[in-house]
Chain A
Amino acid sequence: MKKVILFVSILLLTANVSFSQDTPSPASSGSIIDIYFKSYNSEPEYRSTDITEEMMNKIREKGTWGNPKFDKFMRQIKLYKKLSFKSNKEHSEQIFANVEAAIKKDRLYKPYFKWNKDGGQSYFYIKSNDNKITEFSFITIMPDRNIFTVSSFNGDNIDIETIRSFTHDK
């Protein structure tokens, strides 16, 4: 009898492992904010902004972009998300350590670039699909202002190089 129970248990465990590997992870959909920062919505002064393609079209129609290059780049973007909340240096570092560990584990995002400026740190990430960049995001910790921010640009094929040219025209 024990052998039968053991056999059935092994069979069920094997089936569960093989089926769960075929199922895509539910965390793989959405932006970096949706995947890794939803649980932080109780942080103080938590603010989240979504600019959809429709709203970007409206901004474009009204000619609100300060430079035609912004407009050109934003045509590649279907969704822009921004998240910010109050957080001191230690807490921000702890949150980033947790998120970084999860990103490394899931392998959905590749670290692209790290930048230190005025005592703050920014961590840039990209998500690709068939060599096309579908998301460009960055996490910024600003200890002097006690702010933690995340920005995310989502599209079908984002050309990051075009962003670099903005510094020459501003």
Chain B
Amino acid sequence: MEQDKIVLLLEKYWKAETTLEEEKIIKKYLATNQDKNLEENYNWFKVIEKAQSIAPKPIEHSGKSNGAFKLTLTKIAASVIVITAGFLWGLNYYNRVQAEKDIVLSKQVEADLIYVAEALDQGYDNLNESKDILLDIKPLK
């Protein structure tokens, strides 16, 4: 009776339709009973058992190492924020200094231009005055 049930379960197994519970039942039966009709199944389950024993175990983080990992991540994030903030502040400061420098230079040029303009204006005024004086001179009668 139990053997029939196992055979049915094995059929389901090979169709990949068994649940984990049903697979446990199969493994338990094969471990405790010797049935020559099921010899191929014995070999298969031995192989997968061995394979499971040498498979790499999943990495488990203990609570302590996980905390350290999070701390490192926090430190990296904080460093990135500080560096970015510093860079942005530096860039802003550089732009501000550069803008002030541009204003100083432009004012220097403007002062020169005004100076030249005054000089030229004065020159033309003097020239016109001289011309007017010359025009006012009347020939002696």
Contacts and interface: CB of A to CB of B under 8 A. Distances in A.
Interface in A78-117: 80, 82, 113, 115, 117
Interface residues of B, number: 22
Chain B contact surface mostly: helix
Contact of A49 (B99, B105, B116, B118): B105
Contacts of A31: none
Given A62-B99, A66-B106, A151 B120 contact: no
Given A58-B102, A59-B105, A138-B116, A66 B110 contact: yes
Interface in B25-72: none
B113 A73 contact: yes
Interface string B98-117: 01001101111110111111
Contacts, number: 65
Interface size of A as a range: 20 to 34
A70 B110 CA distance: 7
B99 A167 contact: no
A113 B124 CA distance: 11
A122 interface: yes
Given A62-B99, A113-B123, A74 B117 contact: no
Contacts of B109: 51, 70, 74, 80
Given A49-B105, A59-B102, A62-B99, A124 B119 contact: yes
A115 B119 contact: yes
A167 B114 contact: yes
A170 B117 CA distance: 10
Interface of B: 99, 102-103, 105-110, 112-124
Interface of A: 49, 51, 55, 58-59, 62, 64-67, 70, 73-74, 80, 82, 113, 115, 117, 122, 124, 136, 138, 151, 160, 163-167, 170
